[in-house]
Amino acid sequence: MDTVSIQTVSRRTGLSAHAIRAWERRYRAIEPARSPGRHRMYSEVEVERLKLLANAVRGGRLISRLVHLDNAELRLLESFSAADTNGKGALGDGSGAHVGLEPLRFDDGLAAVENFDTKALEHFFQNAQIKLGDQGMLRNVLAPMARKVGDLWRSGALTAAQEHFFIMIAKLFAWNLTRQYHLDSRAPKIVVGTPAGQIHDLGAVIVAATAANAGWRVALVGANLPAFELAGAVQSFGACALALSIVYPDDDPLLTRELVELGRLLPEHVRVFAGGRAAGFYATSLEALGAKLLGSLEELDLELDAMRRRPRHS
């Protein structure tokens, strides 16, 4: 059977080589053969399937909801999408994955928060996920909206109840993103949480979803954990990385001591990442811990990707 390289598949499907590998690794969309040199080699059947999947994703659907369809079903989906584009009809598959071309407005999400409208807020998040994908939704919608809601609460424009409502729905949505990935048992492991005194953990949940999307196995341990608990979780889980979300308060003298203790307890090989609204206020202590201070989810994604590519030694 004739086969082609990943570079040829990328050219013929419009997918990046990274996306092709990710769809294979996370979703088992295809199972390419390997050359004697262990390079992936793709059959024409696999190229055709990747084309169909790519077209469906470009139409606004989620790859995680497409991989279980066979090629005939994907072609049928493609025909419905073409009819919808021409104004002749729409596909209603009951999954909520196709919601048309609704504009994505932050004001809609904030209105849902103000009105305690669970359905509207979930729909806003889902619409963002469809348009931007998981990582785009986390980076460009959920994280900035969390900051905006926090600012509005601090200014008195939102009540504490409204802020808590947003946090609960956002945490559930972000955590559910981590459950759709089929990760290899050999995937690297990361522990995510907040140190003692830090009781806001939405940022940690968003980081956990980002890491899972990047192919990491995640242990989300929650908020307000002392140094020995964080270090114990890293050891028990066998993690090679620890991510800390530090949001509020920004002037806790006890946190400095906790970070020093964490540095004493963690194995030297464990990489530590820290981010969040208040992380910069503890920059000196974090640097002493050996932590990498990150300013965005994009930076975290780059760091995790670089770690995945390094050879791991037992």
For the stretch 15-74, pLDDT in tens is 888 889 888 888 888 989 998 888 899 999 999 999 998 888 876 677 877 888 888 777
Residue 311: predicted pLDDT? 62
Residue 136: predicted pLDDT? 82
Residue 286: predicted pLDDT? 95
Residue 84: predicted pLDDT? 45
Residue 182: predicted pLDDT? 59
Residues pairing with 225 in the sheet = 195
Residue 79: predicted pLDDT? 61
User: Residue type for 39, please?
Assistant: H
**Strand pairing category for 217-225 and 189-195:** parallel
- Please check whether residue 107 is in contact with residue 152, taking contact to mean a CB–CB distance below 8 angstroms: no
> What is the second-level CATH architecture of the domain 106-177?
Orthogonal Bundle (1.10)
Residue 54: predicted pLDDT? 86
Residue 229: predicted pLDDT? 98
C-alpha closest to that of 180 among 26, 15, 288, 44: 26
- Other beta carbons less than 10 A from residue 82's beta carbon: 13
Candidates 3.90.1170.50, 3.20.20.70, 3.40.50.720, 3.40.50.280; correct CATH number of 184-309? Answer: 3.40.50.280
Residue 192: predicted pLDDT? 98
Helix axes 106-114, 143-155, angle to 10 degrees: 50
Tens digits of residue pLDDT in 159-186:
999 999 999 999 999 988 876 665 677 8
CA 59 to chain centroid: 21
CA distance 21 to 215: 11
> What is the second-level CATH architecture of the domain 3-85?
Orthogonal Bundle (1.10)
Q: Report residue 133 as tokens.
A: 């994908």
- List of E strands, 226-279: 241-245, 271-275
Residues pairing with 34 in the sheet = 40
CA distance 151 to 198: 17
CA distance 53 to 306: 27
- Please check whether residue 202 is in contact with residue 242, taking contact to mean a CB–CB distance below 8 angstroms: no
**CB within 8 Å of 14: residues ≥ 6 apart:** 54
Cis preceding-peptide flag for 144 (omega within 30 of 0):
no
Residue 266: predicted pLDDT? 97
Name the residue ranges covered by the structural domains of the chain.
Answer: 3-85, 106-177, 184-309
Is 3-85's fold the same as 106-177's?
Answer: no
C-alpha closest to that of 47 among 21, 8, 1: 8
Helix axes 118-137, 202-213, angle to 10 degrees: 50
Using 50 as the pLDDT threshold, list the residues of the chain that sit under it.
Answer: 83-102, 313-314
Residue 99: predicted pLDDT? 33
Residue whose entry in the numeric block shows the structure tokens 């600012």: 151
- Other beta carbons less than 10 A from residue 28's beta carbon: 11
Residue 256: predicted pLDDT? 94
Query: pTM for the full model?
Result: 0.66
